[in-house]
Amino acid sequence: MLDSLLAYPQTLLGPLWPAVWTLVKIIVIVVPLMLCVAYLTLWERKLIGFMQIRIGPNRTTFFGLSWLGGWAQPIADGLKLLVKEIIVPTGANKFLFVLAPIMAIMPALAAWAVVPFSPELVLSNIDASLLYLLAMTSLGVYGVIIAGWASNSKYAFLGALRSAAQIVSYEIAMGFALVGVLMAAQSLNLGEIVKAQQGGAGLFSWFWVPLFPLFMTYLISGVAETNRAPFDVAEGESEIVAGFHVEYSGMTFAVFFLAEYANMILISMLTAILFLGGWLSPFPASWGVLGASSFGWLILKAFLVVSSFLWFRATFPRYRYDQIMRLGWKIFIPVTLVWIVVLGAWMQTSLWIWWK
Amino acid sequence: MFWFFAAILVFAALRVITARNPVHAALFLVLAFCTSAGIWIQLEAEFLGIALVLVYVGAVMVLFLFVVMMLDINLERLREGFWSYLPIGAVVALLLVAEMALVLSGPYFGLDEAPRPASSPAGYSNTKELGRLLYTDYVYPFELAAVILLVAIVAAIALTLRRRKHGKYIDPAMQIKVRREDRVRIVSMPSEKGGNE
């Protein structure tokens, strides 16, 4: 069906076809992602509202559909930011000032190229996709640093320094957690990693069981990597106003915002894929639709992880900066190192039951 | 594709040494690293290409930028000694060019010496092959390099480690263990008599 539909543009475009078709696939990924980002902001405000016994945004609606709550809020916010003036501070480096938000969102979107949505559905099924993801997430810090420096503002610069040190530190713990995953899965390919979690034990054959310390490290480092509360000292408003993006307004600010939320969704998607079995169903295969592995399970797992990010924000007070560094270097890195050694020894024995 | 990447690479590398602003120079170095990673990936060395981005762009250059941004570099003073250093710099540059020319024009380099590698079979994993070589054939040099790096890390930390004598260090474990009884003393006092309501 799809092949016959695609035959006509294929002959029409000729040699340009692969580029155009890839572009179409990229759009198919990015547009829903941006919608998810928009509605994640609404969900964040709603969920934290529920947790604090408030209602959250409930005024902005379309067509008077008030029972849906403030479901037009993200659109209204986006529109407002879109038409606001972009103010470039005096003495700022104009080129880098504009480049910084682009540098922030570029890796957040580029990483999605290797994320598999189902066994076949992936934009680019490369062999070393886990490495590619690590490389892309490590590029995200440039947006923050360049923004802090180009703004010609002390607050922004302090925020950028904090954020850069924090991201570089937590990347190490994150990388070690991923080393554990690739050891257990014996592959760097995300699709293969999910397949390695397919076992008879359903829920318990996923990697969160044998790699539990790494799972916790990855999850918490993920929160720190995306500069989310309780690790959001980069924008600690009580100390440095709003950190690296204090001088940004209008759409340039919105792009930073989009990048942060896209990164959040990416990290939760990866947690779901690497540790929570991806598209595999937690129920036995005999349960029909519930037992079948599907895209819906992946979305559900990612949704739960991303909601827990919001939960953390509503629950914990902000960490002090030296304690963030202590947690990253003195707790997470030793924990991951010890568990990698334990895992290596464990996999050599017959007690290892996760792959045959 | 190669020429496209090569042109960007040469341009970025030139800008690294000609850019007036050191932060711009560092960012052009980042661009140069990314482009050379692109060239490596085209040569089917995807592990090396990604590792270059991961290690150099993602970690080393971030710290580098960090330092460069905090330095207050006075360009006028840097340029003062330009003419007096030019002769020795030129000699070093000429020597380097001559050495490279000697090595590259020797009998071991050239298109004839390096035949086009056979295209790799399907399912070939660059990463797996590298790992196999590193941990079997080259395991001793590899471990040796790791130990040397470890010694360097320990030495660097030992050189810069200083304990502050009057630092107000807080032990988080102690903070967590604090109980109410340690901080608050409940005193029972007889209430005052005869207030004027």
Cα A329 → chain centroid: 22
**Confidence band for B146, pLDDT divided at 50, 70 and 90:** very high
A194 or B88, greater pLDDT: B88
Q: pLDDT at residue A26 above 70? A: yes
Cβ contacts of A146 on chain B, cutoff 8 Å:
27
Asked whether the beta carbons of A163 and A245 are under 8 A apart, the reply is: no
**Confidence band for B154, pLDDT divided at 50, 70 and 90:** very high
Q: pLDDT at residue A162 above 80? A: yes
CA–CA separation, A272 vs A306, rounded Å? 10
Query: If residue A222 lies in a helix (H) or strand (E), which one and from where to where?
Result: helix A212-225
pLDDT, averaged across chain A: 81
Q: What pLDDT is recorded for position B118?
A: 66
Query: If residue A304 lies in a helix (H) or strand (E), which one and from where to where?
Result: helix A295-315
Residue A128 in contact with partner chain B when CB distance is under 8 A: yes
Q: What are the b/e assignments for B53-72, b being 16+ CB within 10 Å?
A: bbebbbbebbeebbebbeee
Asked whether the beta carbons of A291 and A328 are under 8 A apart, the reply is: no
Q: Which of A15, A63, A45 is nearest to A261 (CA)?
A: A45
- What value does the CA radius of gyration of chain A take, rounded to a whole number of Å? 22
**Confidence band for A1, pLDDT divided at 50, 70 and 90:** low
CA–CA separation, A141 vs A147, rounded Å? 10
CA–CA separation, B26 vs A245, rounded Å? 22
Highest mean pLDDT among A81-95, A314-328, B80-94, B137-151: B137-151
Kindly report which listed range (A103-117, A121-135, A251-265, B5-19) carries the lowest average pLDDT score.
A121-135
Q: Per the structure block, which two tokens stand in for B102?
A: 């000697």
**Are B65 and A128 within 8 A, CB to CB?**
no
Instruction: Over range A60-87, report the average pLDDT.
Output: 77
Amino acid identity at B69: M
Instruction: Over range B6-34, report the average pLDDT.
Output: 84
Q: Per the structure block, which two tokens stand in for A296?
A: 């819906």
CA–CA separation, B156 vs B159, rounded Å? 5
CA–CA separation, A296 vs B70, rounded Å? 48
Q: What pLDDT is recorded for position B72?
A: 67
Residue A188 in contact with partner chain B when CB distance is under 8 A: yes
Q: Per the structure block, which two tokens stand in for B116?
A: 């086009």
Q: What are the b/e assignments for B138-156, b being 16+ CB within 10 Å?
A: eeeeeeeeeeeeeeeeeee
Instruction: Over range B44-73, report the average pLDDT.
Output: 81
Q: Per the structure block, which two tokens stand in for A50?
A: 């529920």
Instruction: Tell me the pLDDT tens digit for each residue of A272-319.
Output: 888 888 787 777 777 777 777 778 888 888 899 999 998 988 888 888
Interface residues from chain B to A (CB-CB < 8 Å)? 23, 27, 30, 46-47, 50-51, 53-54, 57-59, 62-63, 65-66, 69-70, 125-127, 172
A344 or A3, greater pLDDT: A344
Q: pLDDT at residue A356 above 60? A: no
Instruction: Over range B83-92, report the average pLDDT.
Output: 86
Q: pLDDT at residue B150 above 90? A: yes
Task: Give the number of residues written for chain A.
Answer: 356
The torsion angle over the Cα atoms of residues A118, A120, A122 and A126, rounded to 10 degrees, is 120
Q: Per the structure block, which two tokens stand in for B154?
A: 């320990």
CA-based torsion, A141, A147, A149, A154: positive or negative: negative
The secondary structure of B26-95 as a DSSP string is HHHHHHHHHHHHHHHHHTT-HHHHHHHIIIIIIIIHHHHHHHHHHS---HHHHHHTHHHHHHHHHHHHHH
User: What's the DSSP call for residue A277?
Assistant: -
Cβ contacts of A128 on chain B, cutoff 8 Å:
46-47, 50, 126-127
Rounded to two decimals, the ipTM of the complex is 0.74
Kindly report which listed range (A181-185, A289-293, A329-333) carries the lowest average pLDDT score.
A289-293
CA–CA separation, A155 vs A146, rounded Å? 13
Residue B171: which residues within 8 A CB-CB, separation 6 or more? none
Q: Which of A122, A263, A291, A261 is nearest to A198 (CA)?
A: A291
Give the count of beta carbons closer than 10 Å to the beta carbon of residue B164. 7
**Are B126 and A127 within 8 A, CB to CB?**
yes
Q: What pLDDT is recorded for position B145?
A: 92
Which member of B53, B65, B172 has the closest CB to residue A323? B172
Q: Which of A239, A238, A311 is nearest to A47 (CA)?
A: A311
Instruction: Over range A202-231, report the average pLDDT.
Output: 83
Distance from CA of B61 to the nearest CA of A (A): 10
Q: pLDDT at residue A350 above 90? A: no
The model's pTM: 0.82
Residue A128 to residues A58, A90, A132, A172, Cα–Cα distance (Å): 45, 44, 6, 18
Nearest CA in chain A to B169: A322
Residue A250: which residues within 8 A CB-CB, separation 6 or more? A81, A82, A83, A84, A85, A86, A87
